[in-house]
Chains A and B, each alone.
Chain A
């Protein structure tokens, strides 16, 4: 929204008030001229136009008051008037500016407090650590900033304000695009780059025609007008794309909002975990978690399958403290079975190289270790076997938490809790891993007996267990036994149960997502940039040429008006004047023999030099000086 807005909106208002007064749709010529003058004055945008800015609004409100039920007196606006007033306030530039600023400020807490939509567990941890203050912040929505009432209110108001601003401007702009450029002002001397050239022996018609042609070639919209005293003037305007771009930018922003909202309604996203050598077939039951938009039909889940053949990770072994242990490479080889394509195909997924299959996209987002463990109960029955997915605790060394629940163990249910350490060290800091690669893989485990609480029907996190109600298995001395294993080892505990560490596999975590509106949103965003570029860098300007017959030929006047930031206007206007003068002089004396016969003394001179007004103030400030002084 720029300066043109208000102008456009004002023009709209003027049009409305005209219609309300029952004026002719096409006002008389004098009225048109007056409006053209007004408009030019507006563009000068200086102090004396300020009171004018207020005037139409007041006029409108009075009008509203009249047509409303409240009566004719000015202070009483009535319901409609009040609404109109509020609407005007909402769609005003100041309000838009205020809302924008508010939006920026309101977004800040979203980066300072852990947000639920980013990581809910961090939010809960923060709340539990910070007590009642955090709970207070929570009720205010500081942990869900971007879905909070206040944040939504700001951006919705902003977009309402935007709609209220853009729609009238769209109408005005469409009308302007179809209409002819406004009349040439009577005194060009006041405008930017004013240049006056005397052309001896020229023809008014020809000069005007040439000017119109030149301007048209420079993509100006031109109109040749007949004026009194046999004069001709050419009025021209260019840079309509500026306003087009501005409107496109704002409409495209609305489009982005629509795309994001529609995407939210129609998308789905799920997380899966796959151990090396194992497969995945796309069905709801296979997902660790699954979120879907309100209007997504989950029965339409595409049916593809894949197997994770291999997962490779590489870590930095350089001696630098910042780099040591940092990941260098993650790669997942998958074999995909896509029913739409004949047969299977192999593909390697990397962090920035997702797999596109059947309209969904699969991203490699996480990885970890799945040690192969066999757990036997005291009776010697195998109660847990195979690769167990462990959760990295977040350190560089990939110290991973391991939980095995064995509800079928006899005589009591068993739980194994502990750590998997890719490069294990057990010292005074407890068991931890010093490097994420498999240098010295170890398991450090504790075994518990008791009721796991799985039978009461409450869903439990598979990767957590509450050991407070369980009894640790003790060794012969009565101490809690700590099981420490390397691959291939196994250990039997005092109660007869045993654990063996058979090997290590890796697992990969993938996100699977489909958002049918993401392309639409991207197109809208790119359109917004296109509009932005047009609205910032296309200059909008008017250029006028007037040819007045004089005793010796024609007096040519050229001037321009910047309707936006336009530092080349004066230069261009002068260049145009020079060009017209040049071509006029060559046209005026086609052969040198004519010179002697002509009575004009100046025809001897090579060509008339453009003169500029003696007070050269227009040169430094093209657009803001002139008519009002």
Chain B
């Protein structure tokens, strides 16, 4: 029944995929740190330009004063740059060499993002091939146990990311945020949940609902995951704006944490656009979760003769559904719109994770399909 060679090839491809994803993560990570680096370089560049303007001004006032200040300022001036024209003049000089270095790294960083994207794309293709092979080897859909569910969901998430960012190249910046959780999930699945390819347990056999119910659940999980990333970015972006406004008002620098974060959030769409995207992803996710519940109920009715029996899995899917309903309602409720609603979205995803890990592995119910006795 089971084609062991195909199954082994599938396992091998998964390993290769993980390696490629790690490379993609390195690429995206380098790009992300490059972005923050570029930002500070740009800042210095800007200061340099300002200082040149200032210097020109100074030149008209008196050249001797300007050169004296430039000589005396020293490289330390860059920390509180921008306060006086004379100080920035030195900073400008000091950054001149770094500016060229920055240009070089920015070229590399673009390459890093491209590299990450190519690795992720190749990885996604191999990943999907691996899942298809697993399906062919077992002659069934590749989501019969927890390992397969994880691998198929993560393939879907990466594929969605790669496809969406074919046209929206600005989203490739977020590669790290997609690849990191996906890799964590895949590594857990690869080490703790892995099972050899095998036939389905009888309760999963002979039913089209395995394809429909679990298929929709996989899409719902993937959408919830992407939605949670967007919701988190939305919250981060809003917070950064506030911090930046407050720091600018107080005339304080952004600091080690908020500086890079601010550089990141400046490059992605603003909180309003993220909010709209978050809502659209969660609308789709909510519809998918509703279908998951209904198809699950229909299947339960076919298999166990009860469409709803408050099995732990059912309880938690219900909880997920209600929490996402909370999100949709919160968006329309005065005082909750925007960021407070986004917290509901994150809470919903926390429930998705609980439903997937705690309920599968700790709580024993009728939905015990992890295959890990």
Q: Interface of A with B (CB < 8 Å)?
A: 1-3, 5-6, 50, 53, 93-94, 96-97, 100-101, 103-104, 107-108, 110-112, 115, 117-118, 145-146, 260, 269, 316, 318, 320, 322-323, 326-330, 350-354, 361, 363, 365, 396, 511, 513, 518, 521-522, 525-526, 528-529, 532-533, 536-537, 565, 567, 621
Contacts and interface: CB of A to CB of B under 8 A. Distances in A.
Contact of A53 (B304, B323, B334): B334
Contact of A351 (B199, B203, B290, B334): B203
B198 A316 contact: yes
B307 interface: yes
Contacts of B373: 322, 326, 396
Contact of B198 (A3, A6, A97, A318): A318
Contacts of B328: 2, 536
B294 A330 contact: no
B294 A115 contact: no
**How many B residues are at the interface, by size bracket?**
35 or more
Contact of A3 (B196, B326, B332, B372): B332
Given A365-B304, A513-B306, A621-B272, 20 more contacts: A94-B335, A101-B322, A104-B318, A104-B351, A107-B318, A107-B319, A108-B319, A111-B363, A117-B309, A320-B198, A322-B371, A323-B195, A328-B202, A351-B205, A352-B205, A396-B373, A511-B305, A521-B307, A522-B307, A565-B276
Interface stretch (B39-47, B218-226, B295-303): B295-303
A322 B195 contact: yes
B310 A361 contact: no
Interface stretch (B71-79, B96-104, B242-250, B279-287): B279-287
A145 B359 CA distance: 17
Contact of A93 (B202, B329, B365): B329
Contact of A96 (B297, B298, B299, B329): B329
B3 interface: no
Contact of B287 (A3, A112, A532): A532
Contacts of B326: 97, 100-101, 104
Contacts of B209: 352
B315 interface: yes
B311 interface: yes
Given A112-B363, A328-B199, A532-B286, A93 B315 contact: no
A623 to B, nearest CB: 11
B330 interface: yes
Interface in B207-257: 207, 209
A260 B308 contact: yes
B305 A363 contact: yes
A117 B310 contact: yes
Contacts of A320: 195-196, 198
Given A323-B195, A529-B291, A532-B290, A118 B202 contact: no
Contacts of A536: 283, 286-287, 328
B334 A50 contact: yes
Contacts of A529: 287, 290-291, 294
Contact of B206 (A115, A353, A511, A526): A353
Interface in B20-43: none
A363 B303 contact: yes
Contacts of A100: 322, 325-326, 329
Contacts of A354: 302, 305
B108 to A, nearest CB: 33
B259 interface: no
B357 interface: no
Contact of A537 (B283, B319, B332): B283
A108 B308 CA distance: 16
A50 B202 CA distance: 59
Nearest to A109: B315
Kindly list the 7 A-B residue pairs having the minimum CB-CB distance in the complex, ordered from nearest.
Answer: A352-B207, A111-B312, A111-B315, A104-B322, A2-B332, A536-B283, A363-B305
Nearest to B277: A567
Contacts of B333: 93-94, 97
Given A93-B329, A93-B332, A327 B287 contact: no
A522 B299 CA distance: 12
B206 A326 contact: no
Nearest to B311: A118
A350 B305 contact: no
A525 B280 CA distance: 22
A111 B315 CA distance: 6
Contact of A104 (B287, B302, B323): B323
Nearest to B270: A620
B316 interface: yes
Contacts of B306: 513
Contacts of B322: 100-101, 103-104, 107
9 contacts: A2-B332, A97-B330, A100-B329, A111-B312, A111-B359, A323-B371, A511-B304, A521-B307, A565-B280
A536 B328 CA distance: 10
Contacts of B334: 6, 50, 53, 93-94
A365 B366 CA distance: 12
B291 A327 contact: no
A526 B304 CA distance: 21
B247 to A, nearest CB: 25
Contact of A146 (B303, B310, B363): B310
Nearest to B2: A318
Interface in B124-162: none
Contacts of A94: 333-335
A318 to B, nearest CB: 7
A330 B205 CA distance: 10
Nearest to A102: B322
Contacts of B330: 97
B332 to A, nearest CB: 4
